[in-house]
Amino acid sequence: GGRYFFLEHIPAKEDSFTRWLQGFLTATKIYPSLFNCRLDSNPIQDIRAAGFKELSLESITLRGYVSQPYHLYLTRNHVMGTATK
């Protein structure tokens, strides 16, 4: 079976201002038109639904300096891992 390695940003926690902002920027097509990205999409659900035999996930939060701080604010939460067919 094949192995899928992934690192994806995930939405902020429910009921947070950041989550609301991610939904707003995606629904109004502002962010997707600029960066070709859906801030409110949760790839974990899609990866789990793909039917992999083994799945290993780890949540990480990015911190530190970046040249575009607003981008880090909106996409700081990530999930990384491997999935095996």
Secondary structure, 3-state, 32-67 = HHHHCCCCCCCHHHHHHHCCCCEEEEEEEECCCCCC
The answer, yes or no, to whether residue 24 has pLDDT greater than 80, is yes
**Cα–Cα distance measured from residue 9 to residue 19, given in angstroms and rounded to the nearest whole number:** 13
Length of the chain: 85
Whole-number pLDDT of residue 65: 76
Reading the block at residue 43, the tokens are 């790839």
Give the domain ranges of the chain.
Answer: 3-84
Each residue's pLDDT tens digit, 27-57: 999 887 878 888 888 999 999 999 999 999 9
**Cα–Cα distance measured from residue 49 to residue 43, given in angstroms and rounded to the nearest whole number:** 10
Q: Provide the β-strand partners of residue 3.
A: 84
The answer, yes or no, to whether residue 83 has pLDDT greater than 90, is yes
